[in-house]
Protein backbone atom coordinates (compact mmCIF):
# COMPACT_ATOMS: atom_id res chain seq x y z
CA UNK A 1 0.00 0.00 0.00
CA UNK A 2 2.98 2.36 -0.21
CA UNK A 3 2.34 5.85 -1.55
CA UNK A 4 -1.17 6.02 -0.12
CA UNK A 5 -1.99 8.63 2.49
CA UNK A 6 -2.75 7.62 6.04
CA UNK A 7 -6.35 7.18 7.17
CA UNK A 8 -7.36 9.46 10.02
CA UNK A 9 -10.07 8.58 12.53
CA UNK A 10 -10.79 11.29 15.10
CA UNK A 11 -12.09 9.72 18.32
CA UNK A 12 -15.24 11.54 19.39
CA UNK A 13 -14.39 10.67 23.00
CA UNK A 14 -12.44 13.95 23.08
CA UNK A 15 -15.09 15.94 21.19
CA UNK A 16 -17.30 18.61 22.76
CA UNK A 17 -20.44 16.66 23.66
CA UNK A 18 -22.38 19.86 24.33
CA UNK A 19 -22.01 20.53 20.61
CA UNK A 20 -21.42 17.15 19.01
CA UNK A 21 -22.75 18.20 15.61
CA UNK A 22 -20.12 20.95 15.30
CA UNK A 23 -17.35 18.62 16.46
CA UNK A 24 -18.32 16.12 13.79
CA UNK A 25 -18.53 18.86 11.16
CA UNK A 26 -15.03 19.95 12.15
CA UNK A 27 -13.70 16.41 11.77
CA UNK A 28 -15.45 16.01 8.44
CA UNK A 29 -14.06 19.32 7.14
CA UNK A 30 -10.58 18.27 8.26
CA UNK A 31 -10.86 15.20 6.04
CA UNK A 32 -11.62 12.50 8.62
CA UNK A 33 -11.77 9.10 6.92
CA UNK A 34 -13.68 7.46 9.80
CA UNK A 35 -15.44 8.71 12.93
CA UNK A 36 -14.09 6.58 15.78
CA UNK A 37 -16.72 5.93 18.48
CA UNK A 38 -15.50 4.46 21.79
CA UNK A 39 -18.10 2.39 23.60
CA UNK A 40 -17.20 1.48 27.20
CA UNK A 41 -19.26 -0.52 29.68
CA UNK A 42 -17.53 0.05 33.03
CA UNK A 43 -16.77 -3.70 33.23
CA UNK A 44 -14.30 -4.51 30.48
CA UNK A 45 -12.71 -1.10 31.03
CA UNK A 46 -12.89 1.22 34.07
CA UNK A 47 -15.04 3.86 32.37
CA UNK A 48 -18.52 4.22 30.87
CA UNK A 49 -19.24 6.19 27.71
CA UNK A 50 -22.28 5.71 25.45
CA UNK A 51 -24.36 3.20 23.53
CA UNK A 52 -26.18 2.85 20.18
CA UNK A 53 -28.24 5.98 20.81
CA UNK A 54 -25.17 8.23 20.40
CA UNK A 55 -23.94 6.23 17.39
CA UNK A 56 -27.29 6.94 15.79
CA UNK A 57 -26.87 10.66 16.48
CA UNK A 58 -23.35 10.67 15.02
CA UNK A 59 -24.50 8.78 11.93
CA UNK A 60 -27.30 11.30 11.45
CA UNK A 61 -24.74 14.13 11.35
CA UNK A 62 -22.30 12.71 8.78
CA UNK A 63 -21.94 10.38 5.79
CA UNK A 64 -18.41 9.47 7.03
CA UNK A 65 -17.68 5.82 7.91
CA UNK A 66 -18.69 5.12 11.51
CA UNK A 67 -15.98 3.05 13.17
CA UNK A 68 -17.29 1.62 16.43
CA UNK A 69 -14.81 0.34 19.02
CA UNK A 70 -16.59 -1.88 21.52
CA UNK A 71 -14.75 -2.03 24.83
CA UNK A 72 -17.48 -4.13 26.38
CA UNK A 73 -17.84 -7.60 27.83
CA UNK A 74 -19.70 -10.16 25.69
CA UNK A 75 -20.25 -7.74 22.78
CA UNK A 76 -22.39 -10.23 20.80
CA UNK A 77 -25.40 -9.05 22.82
CA UNK A 78 -25.24 -5.57 21.28
CA UNK A 79 -23.58 -5.93 17.87
CA UNK A 80 -26.88 -5.89 15.93
CA UNK A 81 -27.98 -2.75 17.79
CA UNK A 82 -24.74 -0.93 16.95
CA UNK A 83 -24.99 -1.86 13.28
CA UNK A 84 -28.64 -0.85 13.13
CA UNK A 85 -27.62 2.49 14.69
CA UNK A 86 -25.31 3.17 11.73
CA UNK A 87 -21.90 1.58 12.43
CA UNK A 88 -20.08 0.54 9.25
CA UNK A 89 -17.22 -1.12 11.11
CA UNK A 90 -17.40 -2.95 14.42
CA UNK A 91 -14.26 -3.74 16.40
CA UNK A 92 -14.45 -6.09 19.36
CA UNK A 93 -11.72 -7.00 21.83
CA UNK A 94 -10.03 -10.37 21.61
CA UNK A 95 -9.96 -10.40 25.42
CA UNK A 96 -13.75 -10.00 25.61
CA UNK A 97 -14.76 -12.73 23.13
CA UNK A 98 -14.44 -16.42 24.03
CA UNK A 99 -15.79 -17.36 20.57
CA UNK A 100 -14.03 -14.74 18.51
CA UNK A 101 -14.48 -16.49 15.16
CA UNK A 102 -18.24 -16.68 15.70
CA UNK A 103 -18.37 -13.02 16.70
CA UNK A 104 -16.43 -11.95 13.59
CA UNK A 105 -18.69 -14.01 11.31
CA UNK A 106 -21.72 -12.52 13.04
CA UNK A 107 -20.55 -8.93 12.42
CA UNK A 108 -19.93 -9.71 8.75
CA UNK A 109 -23.26 -11.50 8.37
CA UNK A 110 -24.97 -8.25 9.38
CA UNK A 111 -23.16 -6.34 6.62
CA UNK A 112 -20.49 -4.50 8.63
CA UNK A 113 -16.72 -4.75 8.47
CA UNK A 114 -15.18 -6.74 11.31
CA UNK A 115 -12.24 -5.67 13.41
CA UNK A 116 -10.46 -7.12 16.42
CA UNK A 117 -8.54 -5.11 18.98
CA UNK A 118 -5.89 -6.26 21.43
CA UNK A 119 -4.67 -4.59 24.61
CA UNK A 120 -0.99 -3.69 25.07
CA UNK A 121 -0.33 -6.81 27.17
CA UNK A 122 -2.01 -9.21 24.73
CA UNK A 123 0.39 -10.92 22.32
CA UNK A 124 -0.11 -10.81 18.54
CA UNK A 125 -0.07 -14.62 18.48
CA UNK A 126 -3.68 -14.52 19.80
CA UNK A 127 -4.71 -13.11 16.39
CA UNK A 128 -2.95 -15.67 14.21
CA UNK A 129 -5.94 -17.95 13.60
CA UNK A 130 -8.44 -15.16 13.02
CA UNK A 131 -6.29 -12.80 10.93
CA UNK A 132 -7.41 -14.12 7.51
CA UNK A 133 -11.04 -13.38 8.45
CA UNK A 134 -10.57 -9.77 9.52
CA UNK A 135 -11.10 -6.44 7.78
CA UNK A 136 -9.19 -4.59 10.45
CA UNK A 137 -6.95 -4.97 13.49
CA UNK A 138 -7.01 -2.17 16.05
CA UNK A 139 -3.81 -2.26 18.00
CA UNK A 140 -4.12 -0.53 21.38
CA UNK A 141 -1.12 1.63 22.14
CA UNK A 142 -2.52 2.60 25.58
CA UNK A 143 -4.59 0.60 28.04
CA UNK A 144 -8.17 1.18 26.93
CA UNK A 145 -10.54 3.23 29.04
CA UNK A 146 -9.54 6.85 28.70
CA UNK A 147 -8.45 9.44 26.19
CA UNK A 148 -5.35 11.53 26.68
CA UNK A 149 -2.96 8.78 27.83
CA UNK A 150 0.67 8.45 26.86
CA UNK A 151 1.64 6.22 23.90
CA UNK A 152 3.35 2.99 25.03
CA UNK A 153 6.67 2.93 23.09
CA UNK A 154 6.84 -0.88 22.70
CA UNK A 155 3.75 -0.61 20.47
CA UNK A 156 5.99 0.40 17.55
CA UNK A 157 7.64 -3.02 17.46
CA UNK A 158 4.24 -4.68 17.73
CA UNK A 159 2.92 -2.68 14.75
CA UNK A 160 5.91 -3.74 12.66
CA UNK A 161 5.37 -7.39 13.58
CA UNK A 162 1.65 -7.18 12.79
CA UNK A 163 2.53 -5.55 9.47
CA UNK A 164 4.60 -8.61 8.58
CA UNK A 165 1.77 -10.96 9.58
CA UNK A 166 -0.73 -8.93 7.55
CA UNK A 167 1.37 -9.02 4.39
CA UNK A 168 1.70 -12.77 4.68
CA UNK A 169 -1.82 -13.73 5.78
CA UNK A 170 -4.29 -11.03 4.69
CA UNK A 171 -2.86 -8.19 2.55
CA UNK A 172 -6.21 -6.34 2.38
CA UNK A 173 -6.56 -6.05 6.15
CA UNK A 174 -6.20 -2.57 7.64
CA UNK A 175 -3.92 -1.89 10.62
CA UNK A 176 -5.26 0.84 12.91
CA UNK A 177 -3.43 2.15 15.97
CA UNK A 178 -5.34 3.63 18.90
CA UNK A 179 -4.11 5.61 21.89
CA UNK A 180 -1.66 8.42 22.54
CA UNK A 181 -1.12 9.30 18.88
CA UNK A 182 0.48 12.74 18.46
CA UNK A 183 1.99 14.73 15.62
CA UNK A 184 5.36 13.81 17.13
CA UNK A 185 4.99 10.01 17.18
CA UNK A 186 2.67 9.52 14.17
CA UNK A 187 5.60 9.32 11.73
CA UNK A 188 7.20 6.30 13.34
CA UNK A 189 3.79 4.64 13.84
CA UNK A 190 3.03 4.90 10.12
CA UNK A 191 6.56 3.89 9.19
CA UNK A 192 6.17 0.76 11.32
CA UNK A 193 3.08 -0.21 9.32
CA UNK A 194 -0.06 1.58 10.53
CA UNK A 195 -2.65 2.38 7.85
CA UNK A 196 -5.06 4.25 10.11
CA UNK A 197 -4.43 6.55 13.06
CA UNK A 198 -7.06 7.01 15.76
CA UNK A 199 -6.62 10.43 17.33
CA UNK A 200 -8.76 11.84 20.12
CA UNK A 201 -6.81 14.45 22.06
CA UNK A 202 -4.36 15.17 19.23
CA UNK A 203 -7.21 16.15 16.92
CA UNK A 204 -10.02 17.62 19.03
CA UNK A 205 -7.79 19.42 21.53
CA UNK A 206 -5.37 20.75 18.91
CA UNK A 207 -4.90 24.47 18.53
CA UNK A 208 -5.62 24.01 14.83
CA UNK A 209 -7.34 20.64 14.27
CA UNK A 210 -7.39 21.03 10.49
CA UNK A 211 -3.62 21.58 10.36
CA UNK A 212 -3.05 18.57 12.63
CA UNK A 213 -5.31 16.44 10.45
CA UNK A 214 -3.52 17.42 7.31
CA UNK A 215 -0.14 16.55 8.89
CA UNK A 216 -1.38 13.14 10.03
CA UNK A 217 -3.14 12.33 6.75
CA UNK A 218 -0.13 13.61 4.83
CA UNK A 219 2.05 10.78 6.13
CA UNK A 220 2.66 8.20 3.45
CA UNK A 221 2.54 4.52 4.11
Q: Does 52 bind ligand DX5 (CB under 6 A)?
A: no
Q: Does 209 bind ligand DX5 (CB under 6 A)?
A: no
Binding partner of 118, given Zn ion, ligand DX5, none, CB within 5-8 angstroms per partner class: none
Binding string, 144-163, against ligand DX5, x = CB under 6 A? xx-xxx--------------
Binding partner of 179, given Zn ion, ligand DX5, none, CB within 5-8 angstroms per partner class: ligand DX5
Residue 54 is inside which H or E element, if any? helix 52-61
Binding partner of 14, given Zn ion, ligand DX5, none, CB within 5-8 angstroms per partner class: ligand DX5
Catalytic residue among 33, 38, 41, 135: 38
**Interface residue with ligand DX5, options 32, 130, 202, 216 (CB under 6 A):** 202
CA 161, 165, 171: angle at the middle one, nearest 5? 130
- Virtual CA dihedral for 14, 15, 18, 21, nearest 10 degrees? -160
**How far is it, in rounded angstroms, from Cα 89 to Cα 111?**
9
Residues 6+ apart with CB under 8 A from 168: none
Residue number, 8 or 173, with CB nearest to ligand DX5: 8
Name the strands in the sheet holding 174-178, side by side, starting at the edge strand that comes first in the sequence. Answer: 7-10, 196-199, 174-178, 136-140, 113-118, 89-93, 65-71, 34-40
**Interface residue with Zn ion, options 38, 41, 67, 95 (CB under 5 A):** 38
Query: Rounded to the nearest whole angstrom, what is the least distance from the CB of residue 12 to Zn ion in the complex?
Result: 10
Query: What is the per-residue DSSP string for 64-96?
Result: SEEEEEEE-SSGGGTHHHHHHTT-SEEEEEGGG
Catalytic positions are 38, 178
Binding region for ligand DX5 (CB under 6 A): 11, 13-14, 36, 38, 69, 142, 144-145, 147-149, 178-181, 198-202
Amino acid sequence: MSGTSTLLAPSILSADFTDLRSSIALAEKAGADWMHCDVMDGVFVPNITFGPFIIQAVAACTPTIIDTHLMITDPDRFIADFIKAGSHQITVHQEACPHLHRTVQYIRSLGAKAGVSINPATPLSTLESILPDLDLVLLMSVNPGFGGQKFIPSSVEKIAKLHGMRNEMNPDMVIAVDGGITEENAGEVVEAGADALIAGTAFFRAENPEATASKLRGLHR
